[in-house]
């Protein structure tokens, strides 16, 4: 059974993001870190906490749209190469989301980069996942 759910994320103010809720739940809560390239600093980093059953390509594409990116914009995931460097890999298909889940099973978190332009620098720092400090 599929339902439409809403979560609230903290940007400069609270924002609603909608997603499709899948049953049955696994009980494994995952953290998805979005880095939104080209956005204002207060909107650049967004953290979402979801059940593993809800981490689907469809929901990630819905979040991408709600965060201000279109269907032709890019979603990449950070695939760890070492302790501080990651390789950006394009996420274009359903199996890409499944691969991300398998690769990050132990940590239960993944880092995604949203951008309007194709990323030419494929090696990036694993972090940043932190927001700038508030004054």
Mean pLDDT of 11-23: 73
CA separation (Å) from 97 to 33, 52, 76, 103, 129?
A: 14, 11, 10, 10, 19
Give the residue with greater pLDDT, 5 vs 118.
Answer: 118
The two three-digit tokens of residue 106, written as one number: 């132990």
Q: Is 51 within 8 Å of 42 (Cβ atoms)?
A: no
User: Residue 82's pLDDT is what?
Assistant: 60
Domain boundaries, the chain: 25-125
Percent of the chain with pLDDT over 90: 41
User: Residue 1's pLDDT is what?
Assistant: 44
SS (H, E, C) 59-119: HHHHHHHHCCCCCCCEEEEEEECCCCEEEEEECCCHHHHHHHHHHCCCCCEEEEEEECCCC
Classified as helix, coil or strand, 20 is strand
pLDDT tens digits, residue range 85-135? Answer: 778 889 988 899 899 999 999 999 999 999 999 877 776 666 654 455 555
Give the residue with greater pLDDT, 73 vs 121.
Answer: 73
In whole angstroms, give the CA distance from residue 87 to residue 125.
9
Mean pLDDT of 29-41: 91
In whole angstroms, give the CA distance from residue 3 to residue 97.
20
The two three-digit tokens of residue 101, written as one number: 């889940």
CATH class of 25-125: alpha beta
């Amino acid at each position: 059974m599929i339902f439409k759910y809403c979560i609230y994320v903290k940007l400069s103010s609270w924002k609603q993001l909608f997603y499709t809720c899948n049953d049955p739940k696994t009980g494994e809560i995952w953290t998805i870190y979005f880095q939104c390239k080209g956005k204002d600093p207060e909107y650049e980093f967004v953290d979402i906490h979801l059940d593993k059953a809800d981490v689907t390509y469809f929901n990630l594409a819905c979040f991408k749209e709600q965060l201000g990116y279109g269907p032709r914009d890019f979603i990449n995931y950070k695939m760890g190469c070492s302790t501080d460097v990651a390789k950006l890999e394009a996420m274009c298909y359903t199996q890409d989301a499944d691969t991300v889940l398998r690769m990050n099973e132990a940590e239960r978190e993944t880092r995604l980069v949203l951008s309007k332009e194709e990323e030419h620098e494929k090696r990036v720092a694993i972090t940043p996942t932190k927001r700038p400090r508030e004054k």
